[in-house]
Structure formats: structure tokens, C-alpha cells
Amino acid sequence: YPTGMLAVDPEEVVRMHTSSGTTGRPTAIFHTRQDIENWAEIMARCLAMAGATSKDIFQNMTGYGLFTGGLGLHYGAERLGMWTIPAGAGNTARQIMLMKDFHVTVIHATPSYAMHIAERMLSEGEDPKTLGLKIGVLGAEPYTEEMRLKLQDIYGFKVFNSYGLSEMNGPGVAFECTYQNGMHVWEDSYIVEIIDPNTLEPCKPGEVGELVMTTLRRTAQPIIRYRTRDLTRIIPGECPCGRKHARLDRMIGRSDDMLIVRGVNVFPSQIEEVLMKHEWVGGNYVIHLTTIGAMDEMAVKVEISKTAFDGSIETLRKLRDQLQRQLREQVGFNVHVEVMEPGSLPASEGKAKRVIDERERR
């Protein structure tokens, strides 16, 4: 970081993205014109594989900017010739209005956001089916088959799982065909391997392990045998669609401690970094993840330090407000902070359990 992985003359770079992982020191990813064209091409292939055509109207509901989900899908959709609406992330009322007014047929969002929109519509007495959507491209975060079925049922569309990571371009790496039985990897662009994350030996065919990827077409920043930390398997056998490219199963988790909250990668260490920088904060804290409605919620319980605590509610409130602001800046979404008196959280004997993940698996 920042440019040590750049493999071409800086003059050839036309675009840069970063992984959503860290805000302090993200992984910077560079693209030449050729890289952008190749990326758009494989992204367009994904959309075509799901059945989208130039007659479709596409609303892209993920963030434009350093995150690859916005521009990645955008260029692919334009390449396919779709009428592309760069709605960006958030502003649910506007998303619904755009879908209605422009008769959108294909959307791209995180599964949790798609569910959030549906719940908003239902709570306002509207039926998401009346939108007339055909295809939901949902990815960037893990979700279950049950969640897919639920979303398909609510919207009356077909949901296609979309997998990618910034280091391999972003979205467009692996995508489902109309059989919806695993994500075809574009093997003309990537070599896939599955390894045991502990021994680093290759897994047996069909066995779950860590996905390792090598780029074949990237020029600005080729990467050999990148350990994605994502756990999955290659589905044995051939797909009835006739495509020969290997299929990845749904990601079942990660081999490291990274959390994916609302599609954003968050390391517990990022939270700790903010907390521990504050002079009033004590040593003990817990990150609590839950599901409220369809959305991930992150709450941080933290103790104020004995020395800073003067016994006033006002002091606790002040610290809470400051931490909420700083954590928001760090991770990009609202984090609920609860500041507690010294000694309120259970002290650990040995390794502390910092993360309590009580999110519903849908």
C-alpha cells in the first residue's frame, strides 16, 4: 500500500478502487483501460447469463465510488446495452419511486437491502410484486438459500447470486446461470483453487475450503494465488446449461475474523482501533450483531475508564456521541454505542470473546 502492487507505468492507469475492508488502509486496486474493458465484458456476460438483455431497465442500488459494486455493475449493464439507472445506495423512498416510474426490470443490491426495500413497501401497504421486476442480482455479502427463496417469493422475480472481490476486479467473478445452482466462474479470466486454510494443501474435489484465485487477464495489478479467505467448494459435475466453467457453491463464511455487515467488510480490530484511541475508554468492549427488520445492526458496548468517569450521565452521553460519530466514520454505517460504567461487562478469563453474532441466518 498504496502503489506497491502496481505492475504498469502509472500513466496507463485509468481507474482505482479499494476494497471495502478498512478505511484506514484499504487495499488499493488499479485498472488500465484494457482491465476496465475486460471487467465490463465479463460483467455483461454475467447479466446475459441470468437472462437480462438490452431491452431491460436496470437499477443499480449499490454505492458508486471506491466500492466496486457500483461502477462494476454499471459498466457491465451498459455494455449489455441495458437502460442503466445509477441510483446508488440508500434513499429507499427514491429507489421505490425510480423502480415504479421507469418500469425497472432488473435490480442490483445487497440481499439485506433488497429485503429492507420489500419490508418498507409492505409496511406501507404496497405489494413489491406490482413493481414487475424480473431479475434481482444480489451479492456482496453472504446469504442463504432460504433468503433467496423468501425474496423471490416477495418480489416475484428470480434472484441470482453474484460473487466478486476487489482484488479480482470486483463483481463479475462468479455468477449464476438460469439454473441457479452455483456460480459459474469465468475460467478464461481466473484460475480457481480450493485449499485447506490450515495445511494450505488442495482440497479434494467437492470439498469445502478456502477459495484461492489467480487473475489471467488483469494487467495493472495481476495477482497470483490470492487467498480470498472465503470458504466454499467447487460443485462437482456439469451444469445442465452446458457451460463448462466451474461452479462455486454459496460462500459459507470466512476463514478469518472479518465480519460482513450490510455488505461492508468490518474487522473487529477496526472497531477496537476507534475505541482504544479515545482516552476515556476502558479496556473492555463487546461487538454485538443482530438483525433488525431485514438489516444487520451493530451495537458496541464499551466501558468508560475509571479515571474518566465522574459519575455523571452527561459524561457517558458525551462519550457515546463521540464514539458513534467516529465509528460511523470508520465503517460507513450507524453503529449503536452503549457506554457502561466501569466493570459492567463480563471480564474474560483467557481469550476475550469480542464478537457476539446473533444475526438471523436467512
Q: How many CB atoms lie within 10 A of CB 2?
A: 12
Query: Nearest-CA neighbor of 26 among 87, 69, 56, 67?
Result: 67
The contact mask relative to Zn ion for 237-276 (x = CB under 5 A, - = no) is --x-x-x---------------------------------
The contact mask relative to Zn ion for 210-239 (x = CB under 5 A, - = no) is -----------------------------x
CB of 321 vs ligand AMP, minimal distance in Å: 29
* Count of CA atoms in the C-beta half-sphere (13 A) of 37: 5
Q: Which does 166 bind (CB under 5 to 8 A by kind): Zn ion, ligand AMP, none?
A: ligand AMP
| 221 vs 228 by CB, closer to ligand AMP | 228
CB of 173 vs ligand AMP, minimal distance in Å: 8
| 165 vs 261 by CB, closer to ligand AMP | 165
| DSSP one-letter code for 249 | P
Q: Which does 241 bind (CB under 5 to 8 A by kind): ligand AMP, Zn ion, none?
A: Zn ion
Cell of 354: 469480542
| 71 vs 316 by CB, closer to ligand AMP | 71
* Residues whose CB is less than 8 angstroms from the CB of residue 197 and which lie 6 or more positions away in sequence, other chains included: 209, 210, 227, 229, 231, 255
User: Using omega within 30 degrees of 0 as the cis cutoff, is the peptide bond preceding 2 cis?
Assistant: yes
The distance from CA 137 to its chain's CA centroid, rounded to whole angstroms, is 13
* Residues whose CB is less than 8 angstroms from the CB of residue 325 and which lie 6 or more positions away in sequence, other chains included: none
Does 48 engage in binding with Zn ion (CB under 5 A)? no
Give the binding site for ligand AMP (CB under 6 A): 19-21, 68, 139-142, 161-166, 228, 230, 251, 254, 260, 265
Interacting positions 171-210 with Zn ion (CB under 5 A): 177, 179
CB of 48 vs Zn ion, minimal distance in Å: 13
Query: Rounded to an integer, what distance in angstroms lies between the CA atom of residue 76 and that of residue 83?
Result: 11
CB of 135 vs ligand AMP, minimal distance in Å: 15
Q: Which does 298 bind (CB under 5 to 8 A by kind): ligand AMP, Zn ion, none?
A: none
Cell of 235: 460443485
Q: Which does 239 bind (CB under 5 to 8 A by kind): ligand AMP, Zn ion, none?
A: Zn ion
Specify which residues 59 forms β-bridges with: 85, 107
Cell of 31: 485498472
Contact region for Zn ion (CB under 5 A) — 8-16, 73-81, 169-177, 337-345? 169-177
| 104 vs 174 by CB, closer to Zn ion | 174
Query: Nearest-CA neighbor of 165 among 21, 60, 279?
Result: 21
